[in-house]
Structure 1
């Protein structure tokens, strides 16, 4: 699946399994095992663009991420030994890819925060925190290819242009100034604004939204020069 918004940052960490030699007077540290590599990332999903009254449940999108948390029985471990069941379960492998960066592993944990709701109680926006892990220390080699330069006016990954509200301004005013007078309801919903006519001065508003009539989950905008983040089935490195 291709996510709606690129993450603002990625956190990659590496750790070794170490132990202290208790028989040594110098307590020398000995490395054991092959360690592991981890990736932490936060993704945002939002289906409020069509207006709170007509939008889907955002969990229709995040369920595709939750799929990678569901274990399935490993057929290779079926059978018994010494009268005890050897049945085990595995979660599917996952590849996270953003441009030239990719990470193969499994989804260790997923935290989903629902922070925008429709009037009839449907969650419209979710922030999903993912933690991936792979065995061993795998430091990706950067490619020598040049990154694509975004065109003038394009929004870079992880950066959203925001417009500050001034004294007495309304969502309708800001939408009209941006050339989107008919999209003010979608803009208010996207930004979680309950009263579009009463904005506190300095409130940052994302005006880069459009009203959507379709009830399908919105697709990521096709912006030339911007590479979208992809989650797809993958394999776990040995």
Structure 2
């Protein structure tokens, strides 16, 4: 099975793809997280919004075999496909704003994609580290650390509508039943099944058990 290469896609102001940059070597790790903000402490918790952390990845480049400058794009020796190997300069340029119109400067929107993981954002920083050189001083090996800040296009924001504005949450306390919770939160005890479904409660008649005390339940939006 062929190894799937990580790629960086670049988009213009109309969310149209303009570049596809295939990395030379897949990263060994990457990390990002999602942080939720809430109002309240132990009961009647209300969701405010979600903050996305930056994505940090380190990419490796090596042009020693071709004896070429690792900063520049080049053809890989012995590769009959004619593909261009991306140099570090191309990654560095992702941090440089492009100009749309007369006064607006906008950083290019990029998406790091590898396997089923996709992260769309703007390049916050690029750090190059050159670790091997030819006798002429030309670098032939480097690592490039890229930090992406999450951005959402209008289309992305519409798809996530309801996540940022989202539902209420409630902590389970002694004496709670699903119909009681539905009556208090949804103003209709007959809608207990909506709460059961969204929280994956498999045995509603036996809810709550001692293990459910303090559990946070998501309260669905009911139009």
Q: TM-score, structure 2 length as denominator?
A: 0.46
Larger relative contact order (C-alpha < 8 A, sep ≥ 6)? 1
Give the structure with higher Rg (CA).
2
Say which structure is richer in strand. 2
